[in-house]
Structure 1
Amino acid sequence: MSIGRKKNHDEKLVVQMMETSGIDIEAELVGHVNGASRMRTAMLRCGRCLNADDCQGWLAENAGSHVGSPPDYCLNKDLIRTVREG
């Protein structure tokens, strides 16, 4: 997978994980002072994850729902919790 395709893939996973975890990206990240930094951090973490296949399966199983928390193996679970809690 090329670097550009990998970046787009990671971005999609991050966005899906945040939305499935109940985060309104537009409201909670785009307008937030640290929003761009948080998204970059989340994408970098996602790119280092060794559970991409499990993640995609989990996202498929929970598509269209707001489960509240990502799976324990998610490297962004603490960031998602922080964003959700304000």
Structure 2
Amino acid sequence: MPGRKTLEEHAHLMDQMADRLGVDLDEAELRGDLPPETRDAMLLSCTNCTSPEDCAHWLEGHAASDEAPAYCRNGSKIRDLRDA
């Protein structure tokens, strides 16, 4: 299990990625579109990413985007939430 600091760092990256793709994960969870256990699984998947530094750099350079970088483990899930 990843440590608290890792979880916090990746939660921040994941929230920012969702924001760049036009999704508010908190709102999606409140609406029932994103079950808490799915969000937890997304976070754990994010912690296994081999490119967190690349992700942070990508996020710095993009205020908005239609697509996440190819290496994003949650890009398709976030896009699905946006397109639902």
| Range into which the TM-score falls when normalised by the shorter chain | 0.7 to 0.9
Sequence identity percentage: 23
Q: How many residues align?
A: 83
Name the counterpart of 2:55.
55
- Stretches of structure 2 that go unaligned for 5 or more consecutive residues are none
Moved >4 Å (runs of 4+): none
TM-score under structure 1 length normalisation: 0.84
Name the counterpart of 1:73.
71
Name the counterpart of 1:45.
45
1: distance between equivalents of 2:43 and 2:53?
16
Q: Which amino acid aligns with 2:12?
A: K
Name the counterpart of 2:7.
7
Q: Sort the Cα spacing of 1:58 and 1:79 in 2 relative to 1 into closer, same or farther, 3 A.
A: same
Give the superposition deviation at 1:33.
5.0
Name the counterpart of 1:28.
28
Give the superposition deviation at 1:42.
1.4
Q: Sort the Cα spacing of 1:69 and 1:34 in 2 relative to 1 into closer, same or farther, 3 A.
A: same
- Stretches of structure 1 that go unaligned for 5 or more consecutive residues are none
Give the superposition deviation at 1:77.
1.2
1: distance between equivalents of 2:34 and 2:8?
21
Aligned Cα root-mean-square deviation (Å)? 1.7
TM-score under structure 2 length normalisation: 0.86
Give the superposition deviation at 1:79.
0.7
